[in-house]
C-alpha cells in the first residue's frame, strides 16, 4: 500500500470546524480515488462513493431539487445498504466533471454543513460540459500530483527516520556520507526512470522489472491521448496531440528546451498551436515554465507569455514517449549530451511543481546568462541551475554577484552538499525533494 502525503492534507481539512466541500483536482491516474478511499477507511464508518464516469446513471440523483434532504434520500434509495449518517459517512463524488449538476450541488452540501463531501476530477479546468452554476466560495481545493521522490522512497521501504538523516544534512549544510549519497543517487535515477504515477510505482515495487514498468507507462500515455481525443474540441484534437507528443523532442533531443512550434510541425506557428497549449494546461496534461526578462520580484511582472517550456505532468509520461533504452541509460548513468541535461532539468522542474511552486526561467542572449529554473519564496526570488555533472554555474554566480537582494540560489549537481561565498547552495540532485 503506497503512502501519500495528500492524506494528511485531507485530515487537516476534516478538522476544520466550518469546513466547506473539498474538491481534489489533478491529472488522471495520480491517485485521487485511492487517497480518498484510504482516508475514509481510517476516519468514517462508511463511504458512499459515486464514480460518474463508471456509473453515468448516478447523475439522476442530482436531476431534481438540489436540497440536501432530497439528495440524501436519493442516495439512500440508490445505496440501500448505506445508512448515510452525518459525521459517520463520507460522500465521495468521483470524476465529478461528468455530472455538472453534482458540481452545482456542492454549494448546497456546504451551506447545509451536516455531511462531509469530497469531490475529485481530472478535467475540471476545461469547459467540457458547462455547469449551470459553479460553487465559487463553497469549496476548498487541494491539488494532487503524481508521487514525489520521498513518496517513492516510502514505497521502496525507507522510513521517516532514514529520510530525517538526509534532511539533517540539508539543514546543517554538511556533506552526506559518500556511501549514502551514492545510494540515494542510485534510487533517484530509478525514480526518474519509473516516474511518479502510482500504478507505475506499484508495479516497480512489486516486480523490479522495467519491462513491466514500461508497459504500464505506455498504457497511461494512451489514456492521456484518449482524453485529448475525447474531451478536446474537434478543431483542437489533432493539434493538442501533436503538441503533447512533441514534448520529448522539445526537452530531451535539443539543447534549447524552449517550446518551439517548428518541432510540432514543419513551419508551425504560435497562431495555429497556442490555443492547443492552453487547452493542455487547463486539462492538467502539461505544466508550463515561462521566460522572464529579469531576475527580480515579482517575476510575473517580467514574464514573456510567448516564450515558455512545457513539461509533462509526471516523468512516467515523458518516459513513455521515448524508447525503452532511455530508462536503462538513466538507471546506469550512461546518458550523454542533451538528453542527460534535459532529463535532470525535467526532474527538478517536476519536483518543484509537485511542491506547488510556479516556475520561471531566464535567458539573456546579450549577456549569455541563463537560469534553468527560478522560483519565488517569501517575497524573494530563488534562482536555480541544474547540472548533469558538477561543473561551475557561471550564470548563477554572475547573477548572485550582481543582485545582492537575492538571499540564496541552488545548484543541483551529481555530487554532494556545499556552500559558496556567492550564497550558492550546492545540493545533490535528489535533494530537490527535501528543500
Place of cell 489514456: 223
Architecture of domain 6-144 in this structure: 3-Layer(aba) Sandwich (3.40)
Percent of the chain with pLDDT over 70: 98
Average pLDDT value over all residues in the chain: 94
Give the span between the Cα atoms of 303 and 288, in whole angstroms: 12
> How far apart, in whole angstroms, are the C-alpha atoms of residue 427 and residue 176?
10
Interval 57-62 mean pLDDT: 96
| Confidence band for 426, pLDDT divided at 50, 70 and 90 | very high
Q: What cell was used for 114?
A: 451536516
- pLDDT average, residue stretch 332-359: 94
Q: Which residues are within 8 A (CB) of 400 and not within 5 positions of it... i.e. 6 or more apart?
A: 383, 406, 409, 422, 423, 424
User: Is a pLDDT exceeding 60 seen at residue 10?
Assistant: yes
Judge whether residue 27 has pLDDT over 70. Answer: yes
Beta bridge partners of 386: 412
Kindly state the average pLDDT of the residues 216-224: 98
Instruction: Locate the domains of the chain by residue range.
Output: 6-144, 149-433
Inter-residue contact 311 to 346 (CB < 8 Å) = yes
Q: Do 8 and 116 contact (CB within 8 A), yes or no? A: no
Q: Please give the span between the terminal C-alpha atoms of the chain, in angstroms, as a whole number.
A: 26
Query: Phi and psi dihedrals of 362, rounded to 5?
Result: -130, 135
The per-residue pLDDT for 265 is: 94
Give the per-residue pLDDT at 359.
98
Assign 112 a pLDDT band (cuts: 50, 70, 90): very high
Please report the pLDDT score of residue 122 as a whole number: 86
Q: What is the mean pLDDT of residues 123-152?
A: 83
Question: What pLDDT score was predicted for residue 129?
Answer: 54
Q: 143-156: b or e for each residue (b if 16 or more CB lie within 10 Å)? A: bbbbbbbbbbbbbe
Question: With pLDDT > 90 as the criterion, what percentage of the chain qualifies?
Answer: 90
Distance CA 105, CA 102 (A): 5
Tell me the mean pLDDT in the region 240-258.
95
- How is residue 182 written as a grid cell? 551514492
Distance, C-alpha 392 to centroid of its chain = 30
- Extract the C-alpha cell encoding 119: 469531490
> pTM value?
0.94
Specify the DSSP class assigned to residue 21: E
pLDDT score for 422: 85
pLDDT bracket for residue 130 (50, 70, 90):
low
Q: Cβ atoms within 10 A of the Cβ of 362, count?
A: 21
Quickly state the pLDDT bin for 133 (edges 50, 70, 90): low
Name beta bridge partners: 228.
none
pLDDT of 131 higher than 60: no
Measure the CA–CA gap between 331 and 329, rounded to whole angstroms: 6
Name which of 13, 56, 55 is nearest 35 in CA terms: 13
pLDDT tops 90 at residue 271: yes
As a whole number, mean pLDDT of residues 133-161 equals: 93
- Which H/E stretch holds residue 285? none
pLDDT digits (tens, 9 = 90+) for 284-317: 999 999 999 999 999 999 999 899 999 999 999 9
Residue 260 burial (10 A CB sphere; 0-12, 13-18, 19+):
middle
CA dihedral 205, 211, 214, 220 (to 10 degrees): -70
pLDDT, tens digit (0-9, with 9 covering 90-100), for 372-417? 999 999 999 999 999 988 888 899 999 999 999 999 999 999 999 9
Average pLDDT of the segment spanning 58-73: 95
Residue for cell digits 522489472? 209
Cell 511582472 found at: 301
* Residue labelled with grid coordinates 533531443: 253
Query: Cell numbers at residue 131, please?
Result: 455547469
Amino acid at each position: 500500500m503506497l503512502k501519500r502525503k495528500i492524506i494528511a492534507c485531507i485530515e487537516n481539512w476534516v478538522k476544520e470546524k466550518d469546513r466547506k466541500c473539498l474538491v481534489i483536482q489533478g491529472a488522471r491516474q495520480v491517485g485521487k480515488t485511492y487517497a480518498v478511499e484510504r482516508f475514509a477507511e481510517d476516519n468514517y464508518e462508511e463511504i458512499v462513493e459515486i464514480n460518474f464516469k463508471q456509473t453515468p446513471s448516478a447523475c439522476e440523483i442530482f436531476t431534481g431539487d438540489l436540497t440536501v434532504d432530497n439528495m440524501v434520500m436519493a442516495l439512500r434509495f440508490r445505496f440501500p445498504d448505506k445508512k448515510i449518517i452525518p459525521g459517520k459517512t463520507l460522500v465521495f463524488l468521483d470524476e465529478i466533471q461528468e455530472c455538472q449538476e453534482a458540481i452545482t450541488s456542492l454549494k448546497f452540501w456546504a451551506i447545509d454543513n451536516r455531511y462531509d463531501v469530497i469531490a475529485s476530477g481530472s478535467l475540471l479546468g476545461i469547459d467540457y460540459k458547462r455547469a449551470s452554476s459553479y460553487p465559487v466560495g463553497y469549496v476548498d481545493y487541494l491539488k494532487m500530483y503524481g508521487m514525489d521522490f520521498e513518496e517513492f522512497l516510502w514505497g521502496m521501504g525507507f522510513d521517516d527516520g532514514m529520510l530525517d538523516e538526509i534532511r539533517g544534512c540539508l539543514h546543517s549544510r554538511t556533506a552526506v556520507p559518500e556511501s549514502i549519497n551514492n545510494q540515494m543517487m542510485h534510487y533517484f535515477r530509478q525514480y526518474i526512470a519509473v516516474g511518479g504515477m502510482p500504478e507505475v510505482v506499484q508495479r516497480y515495487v512489486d516486480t523490479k522489472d522495467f519491462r513491466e514498468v514500461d508497459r504500464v507507462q505506455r498504457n497511461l500515455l494512451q489514456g492521456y491521448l484518449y482524453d485529448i481525443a475525447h474531451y478536446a474540441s474537434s478543431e483542437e484534437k489533432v493539434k493538442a496531440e501533436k503538441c503533447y507528443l512533441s514534448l520529448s523532442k522539445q526537452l530531451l533531443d535539443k539543447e534549447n528546451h524552449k517550446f518551439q512550434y517548428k518541432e510540432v510541425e514543419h513551419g508551425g506557428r504560435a497562431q495555429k498551436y497556442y490555443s492547443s497549449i492552453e487547452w493542455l494546461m487547463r486539462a492538467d496534461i502539461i505544466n508550463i515554465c515561462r521566460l522572464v526578462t529579469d531576475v527580480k520580484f515579482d517575476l510575473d511582472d517580467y514574464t514573456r507569455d510567448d516564450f515558455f517550456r512545457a513539461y509533462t505532468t509526471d516523468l512516467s509520461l515523458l518516459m513513455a514517449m521515448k524508447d525503452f533504452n532511455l530508462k536503462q541509460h538513466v538507471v546506469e548513468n550512461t546518458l550523454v549530451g542533451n538528453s542527460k541535461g534535459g532529463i535532470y532539468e525535467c526532474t527538478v522542474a517536476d519536483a518543484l511543481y509537485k511542491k506547488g511552486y510556479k516556475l520561471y526561467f531566464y535567458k539573456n542572449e546579450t549577456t549569455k546568462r541563463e537560469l534553468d529554473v527560478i522560483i519565488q519564496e517569501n517575497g524573494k526570488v530563488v534562482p536555480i541551475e541544474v547540472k548533469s555533472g558538477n561543473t561551475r554555474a557561471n550564470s548563477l554566480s554572475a547573477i548572485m554577484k550582481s543582485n545582492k537582494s537575492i538571499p540564496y540560489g541552488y545548484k543541483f549537481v551529481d555530487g554532494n552538499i556545499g556552500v559558496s561565498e556567492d550564497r550558492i547552495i550546492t545540493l545533490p540532485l535528489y535533494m530537490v525533494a527535501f528543500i
